[in-house]
């Protein structure tokens, strides 16, 4: 059970008037929680079985625009309903909101009651099932990086997002003094998430002004993605409740480093042992790990879109910023796309450093599992590790450098099409295309300043 509240415990809490609201949520393409706030009594009387939402929730952009060009839904199709099916194993308290619990839902087709193939939780479930057929379970951890800002979201919006002031004035990497000043936000983040059943390990200052990182203990892949999504949501709500704001944009200013989501992965066998570990292998790596990692590396260009879904995501990939651009691996070296961690120990695992803080964890983990599984199926061999400054490695393969390129590589990926189906990949290719179309339509401040007089 991933949550920390049984249905019976919820009923008892409702009868004692301790809980009056149940947030009933799905995860959208952008990795956000969308749904309804149920009166708890109605939830336990009937909505726990199912409720409904408009099927446009898996076809909008960040601004909830009704984007055309999707086969799954459209104006012509009448934008019908999906069934939201609560996954009661995810029921949990939401301690940062009074009297509130939360449940995550799967999305089902209204007529067939089959899971919607392009729903993020469904896509991850599918890859978890493939791995299970091979006798394995994936355990993952995502590290959440983000910036805290002095002002609230509303203040920033009203000022047109000008004068964005981070909460601190200097690089706060591992900085105890500066992060003490951020405890009004970060302490409730840690403690409330912990009480919500999310095993927070720590928070720390990161290598920029106002940048924080939140680490959560590794867990089975679906739990990891659920934890990430709820934690990101909590950070925003708790920052808001304190009159501050938190941003998970991958790159909010050209001259500051961006924010990442590093993804740690290991594969476990049926005896619940880390199947990546073999004490007799190089660096303690098993053959299975070598094949899985070779798949991750080979197919990184195919799934880069799922690690970097917006135009802005690609601005983070810059030399000398710890945001890697090369699909090679290394031993405890932060300049390569993939870093071997815990080498020689039972905790041996691979960390993918390519993803930005703006990724959708379900899609990112699903795509990486698909690549790793393909590596195992193809019995791929792992090249020797890269060393030194990988940014300068001339022969190492690059990941796509723009959303346009990443979209093309994703769209043409046989591996992804076989893992997720043509319809699913076409759906996300349309999502990426829309981001490009929207960006191409706007005239930016940069163009005006550069060309107004001089062009
Ligand atoms: P660092 O010092 O680089 O932050 P940590 O030891 O704190 O490294 O681990 C980083 C993340 O890796 C944590 O979220 C931790 O739970 C996770 N992790 C540890 N062991 C494993 C494993 N076997 N598989 C996947 N993730 C793991």
CB atoms within 10 A of CB 62: 13
Q: Is 141 in the pocket of ligand 1 (CB under 6 A)?
A: yes
Q: Tell me the pLDDT band of 1, cut-offs 50, 70 and 90.
A: low
**Strand, coil or helix: 176:** helix
Instruction: Give me the mean pLDDT over the 75-86 stretch.
Output: 93
Pocket test for ligand 1, best of 347, 355, 372 (most atoms within 8 A of CB): 347
Pocket test for ligand 1, best of 199, 272, 341 (most atoms within 8 A of CB): 341
CATH 3.10.20.70 fits 7-116, yes or no: yes
Q: Regarding beta strands 137-149 and 261-268, do their DSSP bridges make them parallel or antiparallel, or are they unpaired? A: antiparallel
In this prediction, what percent of the chain has a pLDDT beyond 90? 91
- Say yes or no to pLDDT of 422 above 90: yes
How many Å lie between the centroid of ligand 1 and the Cα of residue 48? 35
What is 127-446's CATH topology? Creatine Kinase; Chain A, domain 2 (3.30.590)
Q: Is 349 in the pocket of ligand 1 (CB under 6 A)?
A: yes
pLDDT in tens, 371-387: 999 999 999 999 999 88
Q: Is 247 in the pocket of ligand 1 (CB under 6 A)?
A: no
- Say yes or no to pLDDT of 232 above 90: yes
How many Å lie between the centroid of ligand 1 and the Cα of residue 346? 12
> What is the chain's mean pLDDT, rounded?
96
Residue 326 pLDDT: 86
Q: Which atom of ligand 1 is nearest to the CA of 140?
A: 25
- Alpha carbons within 13 A on the beta-carbon side of 202: 6
| Alpha carbons 237 and 96: distance in angstroms, whole number | 8
pLDDT in tens, 10-60: 999 999 999 999 999 999 999 999 999 999 999 999 999 999 999 999 999
Q: Tell me the pLDDT band of 76, cut-offs 50, 70 and 90.
A: confident
pTM: 0.97
Pick from 166, 169, 353: which is nearest to 252 by CA?
A: 166
| Alpha carbons 79 and 53: distance in angstroms, whole number | 10
- Alpha carbons within 13 A on the beta-carbon side of 174: 0
- Say yes or no to pLDDT of 318 above 70: yes
**Domain locations in the chain as residue ranges:** 7-116, 127-446
pLDDT in tens, 294-317: 999 999 999 999 999 999 999 999
């Amino acid at each position: 059970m991933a949550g920390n509240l049984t249905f019976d415990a919820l009923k008892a809490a409702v009868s004692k008037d301790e809980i009056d609201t149940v947030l009933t949520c799905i995860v959208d393409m952008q990795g956000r929680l969308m749904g309804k706030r149920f009166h708890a009594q109605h939830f336990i009387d009937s909505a726990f079985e199912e409720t409904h939402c408009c099927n446009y929730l898996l076809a909008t952009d960040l601004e909830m625009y009704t984007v055309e060009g999707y086969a799954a839904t459209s104006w012509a199709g009448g934008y019908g309903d999906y069934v939201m099916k609560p996954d009661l194993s995810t029921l949990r308290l939401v301690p940062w909101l009074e009297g509130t619990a939360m449940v995550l839902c799967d999305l089902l087709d209204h007529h067939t009651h089959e899971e919607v193939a392009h729903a993020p939780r469904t896509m991850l479930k599918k890859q978890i099932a493939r791995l299970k057929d091979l006798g394995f379970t994936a355990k993952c951890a995502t590290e959440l990086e983000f910036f805290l800002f002095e002002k609230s979201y509303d203040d920033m919006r009203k000022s047109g997002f000008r004068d964005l002031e981070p909460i601190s004035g200097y690089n706060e990497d591992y900085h105890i003094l500066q992060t003490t000043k951020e405890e009004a936000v970060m302490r409730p983040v840690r403690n409330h998430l912990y009480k919500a059943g999310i095993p927070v390990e720590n928070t720390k200052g990161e290598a920029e002004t106002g940048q924080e990182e939140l680490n959560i203990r590794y867990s089975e892949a679906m739990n990891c993605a659920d934890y990430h999504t709820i934690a990101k949501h909590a950070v925003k709500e708790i920052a808001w409740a304190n009159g501050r704001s938190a941003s998970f944009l991958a790159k909010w200013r050209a001259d500051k480093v961006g924010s990442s989501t590093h993804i740690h992965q290991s594969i476990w066998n049926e005896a619940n042992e880390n199947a990546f570990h073999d004490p007799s292998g190089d660096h303690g790596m098993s053959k299975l790990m070598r094949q899985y990692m070779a798949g991750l590396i080979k197919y990184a260009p195919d799934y880069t879109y799922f690690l970097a879904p917006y135009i802005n995501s690609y601005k983070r990939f810059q030399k000398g910023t710890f945001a890697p651009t090369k699909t090679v691996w290394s031993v405890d070296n932060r300049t390569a796309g993939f870093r071997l961690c815990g080498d020689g120990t039972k905790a041996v695992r691979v960390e993918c450093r390519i993803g930005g803080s703006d990724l959708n964890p379900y899609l990112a983990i699903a795509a990486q599992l698909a690549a790793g599984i393909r590596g195992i199926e193809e019995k791929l061999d792992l090249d020797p590790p890269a060393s030194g400054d990988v940014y300068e490695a001339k022969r190492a393969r690059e990941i796509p450098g723009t959303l346009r390129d990443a979209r093309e590589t994703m769209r043409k990926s046989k591996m992804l099409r076989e893992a997720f189906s043509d319809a699913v990949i076409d759906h996300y290719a349309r999502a990426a295309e829309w981001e490009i179309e929207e960006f191409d339509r706007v005239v930016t401040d940069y163009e005006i300043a550069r060309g107004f007089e001089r062009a």
